[in-house]
């Protein structure tokens, strides 16, 4: 890792105001990310993965700590940190082309001519294999196609960091596999830094350079970080029988289902304690995972 990281989260904590006082959703999240790295955030529902992403995007401000991109603090949203939203968030009244155009016009105003912009939009549609549906509105195309357009919209902003909030969560398995392959192609070609939230262990291992596993909330933090040292390009069929791949998979599964039980399961086992004092749950996880992040490096070979 460089001394000056590309993207750096330092002791990020966030409190949300509630009627019973502030609620600490994230506590002390520290992470350094290199340029071109593919990071996955994985953890149980409600552990604050989306909050981390939103803080990097600038949609939320951290209560303590902060995010630095290329030596500059992140204080507001901006197109250099493009977001692919879980539910695609395309404007339903615009065609695929127009949806991308909205961003391109804003980002490249005065930098590209009209013809260059048109060229650039078409290029990005082509990148996600959506040229055939450029004039279709979102309600006329399938869920996977919408997500492709959403990715194209984000890529067309030429972002330094691509933030993806469970981009394939709502898709069926086959479509998801297609899009994962597309995403790997694009990442290999463009080399953007990517932070992706996922629930899918296979997806995380297949795509990532590092998997950041988060502890359960409240006051969620980084539990462990797993380095995935698999050769690229990765082929899902080849990897399915790969020992190393399966080892990584089981590491993530162990973290999620042994060390970090689902909040629901917790309340079943320690139901009485939880209903009275929710701190018990946090304490038990905190004792297993020291506040400083522990990096779990699996040596390959």
Partner 1 sequence: MSTEITASRYRSWDLPLIEKLQGFLSREVASAKAARLVKSIVVSFGALGIFLFLWSVLAAQVETSLGVLPGPAKVWEQGVVLLDEHKAEREKEVAFFERQEKRNAEKLARNPDAKVKIRPYTGKATFLDQILTSLLTVITGFLIASLIAIPIGIVIGMNETLYAAFNPIIQLFKPVSPLAWLPIVTMVVSAVYVSTDPMFAKAFITSAITVTLCCLWPTIINTAVGVSSVDKDLINVSRVLRLPWITQTMKIVLPSSIPMMFTGLRLSLGIGWMVLIAAEMLAQNPGLGKFIWDEFQNGSSNSLARIMVAVLVIGFIGFLLDRGMLMLQRKFSWDKSAALR
| Residues of the shown chain interacting with partner 1 in the complex, contacts defined by CB under 8 A | 57-59, 76-79, 81-83, 85, 87, 89, 91-94, 102-103, 106-107, 137, 139, 157
Report in angstroms how near the CB of residue 105 gets to partner 1 at its nearest: 9
Report in angstroms how near the CB of residue 166 gets to partner 1 at its nearest: 13
Cα distance between the two ends of the chain: 22
Report in angstroms how near the CB of residue 89 gets to partner 1 at its nearest: 4
CA distance 101 to 96: 9
Report in angstroms how near the CB of residue 180 gets to partner 1 at its nearest: 23
Nearest to 98 by CA among 145, 32, 152, 47: 152
Pick between residue 32 and residue 136 the one whose CB is nearest to partner 1. Answer: 136
Pick between residue 55 and residue 226 the one whose CB is nearest to partner 1. Answer: 55
Report in angstroms how near the CB of residue 93 gets to partner 1 at its nearest: 3
Backbone conformation region of residue 221, classed left if phi is above 0, alpha if psi is from -120 to 50, else beta? beta
Contact 223, 44 (CB under 8 A): no
Pick between residue 151 and residue 226 the one whose CB is nearest to partner 1. Answer: 151
Report in angstroms how near the CB of residue 130 gets to partner 1 at its nearest: 18
* Residue-level length of the chain: 301
Report in angstroms how near the CB of residue 165 gets to partner 1 at its nearest: 10
Pick between residue 103 and residue 223 the one whose CB is nearest to partner 1. Answer: 103
Pick between residue 24 and residue 81 the one whose CB is nearest to partner 1. Answer: 81
Pick between residue 82 and residue 214 the one whose CB is nearest to partner 1. Answer: 82
Pick between residue 84 and residue 204 the one whose CB is nearest to partner 1. Answer: 84
Contact 121, 104 (CB under 8 A): yes
Pick between residue 79 and residue 263 the one whose CB is nearest to partner 1. Answer: 79
Report in angstroms how near the CB of residue 198 gets to partner 1 at its nearest: 19
């Amino acid at each position: 890792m460089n001394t000056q990281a590309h993207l750096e989260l330092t002791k990020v904590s966030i409190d949300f105001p509630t009627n019973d006082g502030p609620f600490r959703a994230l506590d002390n999240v520290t992470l350094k990310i290199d340029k071109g790295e593919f990071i996955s955030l994985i953890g149980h529902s409600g552990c604050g993965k989306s909050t981390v992403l939103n803080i990097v995007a600038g949609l939320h401000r951290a209560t303590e700590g902060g995010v630095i991109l290329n030596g500059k603090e992140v204080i507001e949203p901006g197109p250099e940190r493009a977001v692919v939203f879980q539910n695609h968030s395309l404007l339903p009244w615009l065609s695929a082309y127009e949806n991308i155009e909205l961003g391109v016009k804003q980002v490249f105003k005065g930098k590209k001519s009209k013809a260059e912009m048109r060229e650039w939009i078409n290029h990005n549609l082509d990148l996600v294999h959506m040229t055939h549906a450029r004039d279709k509105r979102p309600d006329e195309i399938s869920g996977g196609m919408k997500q492709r357009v959403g990715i194209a919209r984000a890529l067309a902003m030429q972002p330094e960091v691509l933030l993806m909030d469970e981009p394939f969560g709502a898709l069926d398995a086959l479509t998801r596999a297609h899009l994962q392959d597309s995403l790997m192609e694009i990442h290999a070609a463009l080399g953007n830094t990517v932070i992706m939230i996922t629930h899918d262990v296979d997806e995380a291992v297949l795509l990532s350079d590092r998997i950041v596993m988060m502890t359960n909330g409240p006051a969620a933090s980084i539990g462990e970080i797993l380095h995935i040292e698999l050769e690229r390009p990765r082929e899902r069929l080849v990897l399915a029988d790969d020992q190393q791949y399966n080892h990584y998979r089981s590491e993530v599964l162990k973290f999620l289902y042994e060390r970090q039980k689902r909040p629901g399961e917790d309340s079943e086992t320690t139901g009485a304690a939880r209903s009275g004092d929710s701190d018990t749950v946090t304490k038990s996880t905190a004792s297993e995972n020291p506040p400083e992040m522990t990096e779990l490096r699996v040596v390959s070979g």
